[in-house]
Structure 1
Amino acid sequence: MERIITLAVRSLTEDALGTALGELRAAVGRINDLPIKSAIEFVEAPPGVLERGLTPREAQVLDCVVEGLSGKAMARRLGMSEGTVKCHLNNLYRKTGSANRTQLAMWATRNRPARQPEALSA
């Protein structure tokens, strides 16, 4: 693993390396600001989620959107209020440039790695 990281760092330009380090510092800062449960979810986020700026909870809401769940069903499944679901949906609309749940689901199928069925129901 260390060899791969070394090779990756060598292939970066100075500007790209500076940008990558800045993003890493920002991610570490976000982890430090999170409660323990959220920090664990952040670290265990599915591949590709953090690179696109989605939080682990936004990724979970996005999974529910892809499944076609209602706001109430999402809230029940994820253990949050419907208002919190709406907040996450609004963040997802903004981050993905989507105007509605259909566009959001289409964005997810185009831009996220293929998900295993059991990962969607967890």
Structure 2
Amino acid sequence: MHEPIRLLIVDDHPVVRQGLRAYLELEADFDIVAEAGDGEEALAAIGEDEPDVVLLDLKMPGTDGQAVLERLGGDGPRVLVLTSATDSERVPAAIEAGAAGFVYKDIDPDALAAAIRTVHAGQTLLSPAAMRGLMSGGPAAAPELTPRESQVLGLIAKGQTNRQIARALGVSEKTVKTHVTNLLRRIGAADRTQAALWAVRHGVG
């Protein structure tokens, strides 16, 4: 039996926190270790309660969710941004600051549970609605990728690991690692999260 996923819920609306807790407590593999109503409380809880995944609202008074991400600097727990559908313009900044995923508050509860498990497993997750928000401005000019590089990048954008990509394409994991290294250099991405964001922005995958 695996240890439950330790969750921190961060939202400035108590009713939202209560609703999330009421549902997520029904999931046997989740343990809600703390709640926070603003960014300062969230940072304190991260240090004290050591959650595995933080459900983070972006719009909060005082220290908002973006500031929390920036102060974490990519260290600490995995962060799943959970915010309103009017915040699509915030997606790039949140992902660049280290968020592992981005979903909207109208998400189906079962899909939210799946999203938490996905980011906890080390994968990147952008909801279809968040992807549409990213692409609404149209893709910018981009370096031309080979068909194989486009395939690999598309699978990275879906959150797949090197092993999963190797299995999907029928190649070795070493070959996939080489493709990923070349891709990151070509598109100017520092890591897989930035590569996934680049793929969404340019309609790859």
TM-score (norm 2): 0.30
Larger Rg: 2
TM-score (norm 1): 0.49
